Amino acid sequence: METKIKALHFTATEQLQAFIEKKCAKLERVHEFIQKVEVTLKVVKPETALNKQASIDVTIPNGEFFAEKTCDTFEEAVDGCLDALTRQLKKNKEKLREK
């Protein structure tokens, strides 16, 4: 599984990148055929509370899944996205089993 992290208009710390890679690796437990995970981090203007936005795009052989969250911290936003993607991937896997 390939993981790409893009930080728009700022530089992501090593700690944040390690956190994201560790969390994204857990997606492989849900769906073993994940090819690519793209994480985009962005600070939303104006700079108030809830201004950290994370969007995650997951590519598997038969489709793509996307989740986007805006929270106080990037860690919260990434966790929220991964929760949503976990549900989407599980649902997709169940549909494939039914066929």
Please classify residue 39 by burial: count the beta carbons closer than 10 Å to its beta carbon, then call 0-12 exposed, 13-18 middle and 19+ buried.
buried
3-class state of residue 52 by DSSP:
strand
CA 45 to chain centroid: 21
List of the chain residues with pLDDT < 50: none
Rounded Cα distance between 50 and 42, Å, is: 12
| Predicted pLDDT of residue 91 | 92
Which tokens belong to 25?
């690796």
| Predicted pLDDT of residue 95 | 87
Rounded Cα distance between 89 and 46, Å, is: 33
Fold adopted by 2-98: Double Stranded RNA Binding Domain (3.30.160)
Rounded Cα distance between 51 and 70, Å, is: 6
| Predicted pLDDT of residue 98 | 83
